Amino acid sequence: MSTTAAVGSGPQRAPLNTRVRIPHKRALGVFVAPFAALFTAFYLVPIGYAIWQSTRVIEREGTYGAPTEVFGGLSQYQTALQNDAFWQSIGRVVLFGVVQVPIMLGLALVFALLLDSPLVRGRRFFRLAFFAPYAVPGVIAAIMWGFLYSPNLSPFAAVTSELDLLSTDLVLWSIANVVTWVYVGYNMLIIYSSLLAIPAEVYEAARLDGASQLRIAWSVKIPLVMPAIILTAIFSIIGTLQLLAEPQVFRGFTTAVQSDYTPNMLVYSTAAVPNPSLAAAFSVLLAVATFILSFTFLRLTQRKAFQ
pLDDT single digits (tens) 158-193: 888 888 999 999 999 999 999 999 999 999 999 999
Mean pLDDT across the chain, nearest whole number?
88
pLDDT value for 124: 85
- Contact indicator for 267, 282 with CB cutoff of 8 Å: yes
Reference 239, options 292, 198, 294; nearest CA is 294
Contact 160, 149 (CB under 8 A): yes
Please compute the mean of the pLDDT values over residues 242-269 and round it to a whole number.
94
pLDDT > 80? residue 252:
yes
- Pairs from 264-267 (Cβ < 8 Å, separation ≥ 24): 265/89, 266/85, 266/86, 266/89
Higher-pLDDT residue of 63, 198: 198
pLDDT of residue 273: 86
Tell me the percentage of the chain whose pLDDT exceeds 70. Answer: 90
> For residue range 192-207, what is the model confidence (pLDDT) as tens digits?
999 999 998 998 999 9
pLDDT class of 299 with cuts at 50, 70, 90: confident
Q: Is the pLDDT of residue 306 over 80?
A: no
Q: How far apart are CA 172 and CA 157, in angstroms?
A: 20
* Statement: residue 35 has pLDDT above 80: yes
Residue 6 has pLDDT above 50, yes or no: no
Confidence of residue 307 (pLDDT cuts 50, 70, 90): low
Percent of the chain at pLDDT above 90? 64
pLDDT band at 12 (very low <50, low <70, confident <90, very high): low
Distance CA 93, CA 169 (A): 14
DSSP H helices in 71-133 = 75-81, 84-116, 123-131
| pLDDT given for residue 82 in this prediction | 95
In this prediction, residue 62 has a pLDDT band, given cuts at 50, 70 and 90, of: low
Res 5 pLDDT > 60: no
Taking only the tens place, the pLDDT of each residue in 100-118 is 999 999 999 999 999 998 8
Q: What is the pLDDT of residue 7?
A: 46
What pLDDT is stored for residue 8 in this prediction? 47
Question: What does the pLDDT read at residue 153?
Answer: 83
- Output the CA angle 6-11-17, nearest 5 degrees: 85
Is 0.95 topped by the overall pTM? no
**SS3 assignment, position 170:** coil
Q: Which CATH number is 81-306 given?
A: 1.10.3720.10
Strand partners, 56: 71
Q: What's the sign of the alpha-carbon dihedral 294, 96, 107, 305? A: positive
- CA distances (Å), 202 to each of 117, 188, 219, in order? 14, 22, 11
Q: Are 179 and 139 in contact (CB under 8 A)?
A: no
DSSP state of 117: -
User: Per-residue pLDDT for 278 more than 50?
Assistant: yes
CB atoms within 10 A of CB 126: 14
| Contact partners, residue 10, CB within 8 Å, separation at least 6 | none
For the chain, domain boundaries: 29-72, 81-306
Give 305's Cβ-side CA count (13 Å radius). Answer: 14
Please say if the pLDDT value at position 39 is more than 50: yes
101, 233 contact by CB (below 8 A): yes
Query: 41 or 20: whose pLDDT is higher?
Result: 41
Q: Work out the average pLDDT over 9-23.
A: 58
**DSSP readout, 253-268?**
T-TTS-TTSSHHHHHH
| Mean pLDDT computed over 56-69 | 78
DSSP string, 16-72: TTSPPPPS-HHHHHHHHHHHHHHHIIIIIHHHHHHHHHTTEEEEESSSSPPEEEEE-
Residues 142, 245 contacting (CB under 8 angstroms) = yes
